Amino acid sequence: MLAALGVEIKPDLLTLALTHRSYAYENGGLPPNERLEFLGDAVLGLVITDHLYNEHPDLPEGQLAKLRASVVNMQALAGVARGLGKGGLGAHLLLGKGEELTGGRDKASILADGLEAIIGAVYLEHGIEVARKLVHRLFDDLLAEAPLRGAGLDWKTSLQELTASASLGVPEYRVVDTGPDHQKEFSATVLIAGEPRGEGRGTTKKEAEQNAAEMAWRSLTAELEAGKDSEDAGNPGGDKEQAGGKAQPGATTGQ
């Protein structure tokens, strides 16, 4: 795992970073990794925020927060943790017997906390610049995808914002369920301006609607971008005023 991190951590500090509270409790009250997790969470947030602030100088606070949340969230951190070396971070965690039996090595919350603890340990041993390099090594791919992932925090909200900006009204969702009560599957269709634009399935109504909204958002975004590119190509100079300073009668203003 250290090879995957690309940085050395002292054995005792690494052991602490990998010690889940369930293991600590079952082994005489050893210190768990929670303080390191607390520290690593702050370091991770600082590095990601600093990057986004400098990378997107024109974005307002609300959009920056959305991009950050798309990178610094439990599922994203767990995904990074699963990719750390052979077996991922989960293979190296120290867990109590109960957590071991209930699949704790692949629980998103435990993996995310463990990764933050590792970042905290690196910061303690090597300082902020080494920790910054580690964060970028682990998260640069997610940062590159942040504009799209930011929409994915809530596809339904993002789709509604998109349809509102395009004057297409409010999306309408139609959901049907199949299967017995204990094992239902939901299928959702989202309509925009009365036309089906996305379909999705899931084990809950919310999941099905989110999947349908994602399909519609991607399709509509591509459609609107293609339309904008076509419009720009057809009018490369934009709408220009006549030499006398007045717009040509009947000309439309640019969008």
Which of 101, 135, 151 marks a domain boundary? 151
The CATH number of residue 165's host domain is 3.30.160.20
| pLDDT the model gives residue 186 | 95
- If asked whether residues 117 and 167 sit together in one domain, one would say no
Joined tokens for residue 16 = 């602490």
Residue 72: pLDDT over 70: yes
How far apart CA 81 and CA 60 sit, in angstroms, is 30
Ordered alpha helix ranges (H), 74-196: 74-82, 97-101, 108-126, 128-144, 146-151, 155-165
Give domain status of residue 242, yes or no: no
Whether 58 shows a pLDDT value over 50: the answer reads: yes
Same structural domain, 49 and 140: yes
Q: Range with the lowest mean pLDDT among 28-42, 61-75, 164-178? A: 61-75
User: What global pTM score does this model have?
Assistant: 0.64
Name every residue whose Cβ is closer than 8 Å to that of residue 72 and which is 6 or more positions away in sequence: 44, 45, 48
Q: Which residues pair with 175 in a beta bridge?
A: 188
For range 17-30, the mean pLDDT: 93
Do residues 204 and 146 both lie within one domain?
no
Mean of per-residue pLDDT scores for the chain: 86
Write the pLDDT tens digit of every residue in 90-101. Answer: 999 999 999 999
Same domain for 11 and 118, yes or no, is yes
14 lies in the same domain as 128: yes
pLDDT value at position 208? 92
Confirm whether 247 is domain-assigned.
Answer: no
Residues 101 and 130 in one domain: yes
Does 187 fall in a domain?
Answer: yes
Q: How many domains does the chain have?
A: 2
**146-164 as b/e, with b when 16 or more CB fall inside 10 Å?**
beebbbeeebbebbbebbe
With a cut of 50, say whether residue 218 has pLDDT above it: yes
Quickly tell me which residue has 């991922």 as its tokens.
88
pLDDT for 163 equals 93
Mean pLDDT of 124-138: 97
**Can you read off the two tokens belonging to residue 38?**
């607390």
Q: Do 65 and 114 sit in the same domain of this protein?
A: yes
pLDDT at position 241, please? 42
SS3 16: helix
119 within domain boundaries: yes
Q: Taking residues 135-139, report their average pLDDT.
A: 97
Annotated catalytic residues are 41, 116
248 is a domain residue: no
| Residue 240 within any structural domain of the chain | no
One domain, residues 58 and 22: yes
Same domain (yes/no): 85, 28? yes
For residues 43 and 130, membership in a common domain is answered with yes
What is the Cα–Cα distance from 222 to 208, expressed in whole angstroms?
22
Find the domain containing 84 and state its range: 2-151
In this predicted structure, what is the pLDDT of residue 230?
63
Q: What is the CATH number of the domain that holds 93?
A: 1.10.1520.10
CA angle 64, 68, 73 (to 5 degrees): 155
The reply to whether 118 and 179 lie within a common domain is no
Q: Is residue 239 part of a domain?
A: no
The predicted structure's pLDDT at residue 231: 62
Listed in sequence order, the residues at least 6 apart from 174 whose beta carbon sits closer than 8 Å to its beta carbon are 188, 189, 190, 191
pLDDT band at 198 (very low <50, low <70, confident <90, very high): very high
pLDDT score of 1 = 74
pLDDT per residue as tens digits for the range 219-247: 998 888 887 666 666 665 554 444 344 33
Last residue of a domain, one of 151, 171, 197: 151
| Structure tokens, 123 | 């910061």
Do 120 and 215 fall within a single domain? no
